[in-house]
């Protein structure tokens, strides 16, 4: 954030201690996120399978879109920038169909399947 | 706008992980007084009791979303709602322009680095209030 250490503001000792405590908490939360990530990806997979089962396709697509949005918004914060990148890319591809409340065209289905696998790979959870 | 000091922030974010780390960082790094809510509906109920200087508002939430919450706050306060910064992964140029047109001070793109968030918030505040 600063060019040199000399440019950084001098903070009171209690503030520095608080910042160190935050860094420690951040490490703990990152470990929790890593632990919970397989569950989040399984939820994505379950939604995708429900969508392929052709039941309630519009609301299920909205659910998939929301799950991807949350993943895109959090993964990089906890050390998974590639997961954020792919989830965001897929979210944008789904967006027009969610807004139009329409089902996915056939040619996008293979793309979604590929991108969900790419998310699993990026998370270190190989699926194929 | 006047020369106001930023102290009290109402954080509205439905995702537990992000809400928790954001609150901790705003309190410990930024030294702000923070109340965190998990929904737009909960945020509305905090407006009068907490009297925030600023609201950090997630865009996509179940139920009342960010823009809906902002609109409801404006109604509730007769147009005198505290300034809002939206937080969103939907941060393309046209989306940022759209959120500003709704009345937001600015938009912070998600995902963000929690350790530098307070500085980003202060920067937006100072740009608009000093």
Tell me: the pLDDT tens digits for A64-95?
999 999 899 899 999 999 999 999 999 999 99
Closest residue of chain B to A36, computed from CA coordinates: B17
Average pLDDT over residues A104-108: 88
Judge whether A35 is closer than 8 Å to chain B, CB to CB: no
How far apart CA B51 and CA B78 sit, in angstroms, is: 15
Nearest to A84 among B60, B62, B111 (CB): B111
Over residues A14-63, the pLDDT tens digits come to 888 888 888 899 999 999 999 999 999 999 999 999 998 876 688 899 99
- Report chain A's terminal Cα–Cα distance, integer Å: 40
Structure tokens at A52: 């392929």
Task: Give the pTM.
Answer: 0.84
HSE, CB side, 13 Å, CA atoms: give it for residue B20.
Answer: 13
CA distance B78 to chain A (A): 31
Nearest to B18 among A21, A22, A77 (CB): A77
DSSP assignments along A57-80, one per residue: HHHHHHHHHHHHHHHHHHTGGGT-
Interchain CB distance below 8 Å, A29 and B111: no
- By CB neighbour count within 10 A (0-12 exposed, 13-18 middle, 19+ buried), where does A18 fall? middle
Q: In B14-50, which positions are buried (b, 16+ CB within 10 angstroms) versus exposed (e)?
A: bbebbbbbbbbbbbbbbebebbbbbbbebbbebbeeb
How far apart CA A103 and CA A57 sit, in angstroms, is: 6
Judge whether A77 is closer than 8 Å to chain B, CB to CB: yes
Does the N-terminal peptide bond of residue B111 adopt cis geometry, omega within 30 degrees of 0?
yes
Judge whether A75 is closer than 8 Å to chain B, CB to CB: yes
Torsion of CA A12, A18, A23, A25, to 10 degrees: 180
């Amino acid at each position: 954030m600063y060019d040199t250490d000399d440019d950084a503001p001098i903070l009171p000792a209690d503030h520095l201690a608080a910042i160190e405590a935050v860094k420690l908490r951040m490490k703990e939360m990152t470990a929790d996120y890593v632990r919970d990530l397989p569950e989040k990806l399984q939820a994505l997979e379950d939604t995708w399978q429900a969508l392929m089962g052709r039941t309630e396709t519009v609301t299920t697509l909205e659910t998939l879109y929301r799950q991807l949005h949350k993943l895109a918004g959090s993964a990089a914060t906890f050390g998974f920038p590639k997961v954020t990148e792919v989830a965001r890319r897929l979210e944008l591809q789904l967006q027009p169909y969610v807004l139009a409340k329409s089902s996915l065209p056939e040619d996008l289905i293979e793309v979604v399947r590929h991108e969900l696998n790419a998310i699993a790979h990026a998370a270190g959870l190989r699926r194929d | 706008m006047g020369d106001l000091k930023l102290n009290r922030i109402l954080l509205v974010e439905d995702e537990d992980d992000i809400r928790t780390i954001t609150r901790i960082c705003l309190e410990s790094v930024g030294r702000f007084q923070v109340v965190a809510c998990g929904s737009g509906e909960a945020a509305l109920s905090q407006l009068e009791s907490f009297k925030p200087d600023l609201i950090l508002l997630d865009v996509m939430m179940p139920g009342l979303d960010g823009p809906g919450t902002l609109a409801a706050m404006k109604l509730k306060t007769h147009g005198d709602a505290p300034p809002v910064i939206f937080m969103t992964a939907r941060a393309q140029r046209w989306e940022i322009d759209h959120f500003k047109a709704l009345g937001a001070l600015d938009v912070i793109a998600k995902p963000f680095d929690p350790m530098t968030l307070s500085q980003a918030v202060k920067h937006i505040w100072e740009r608009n209030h000093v």
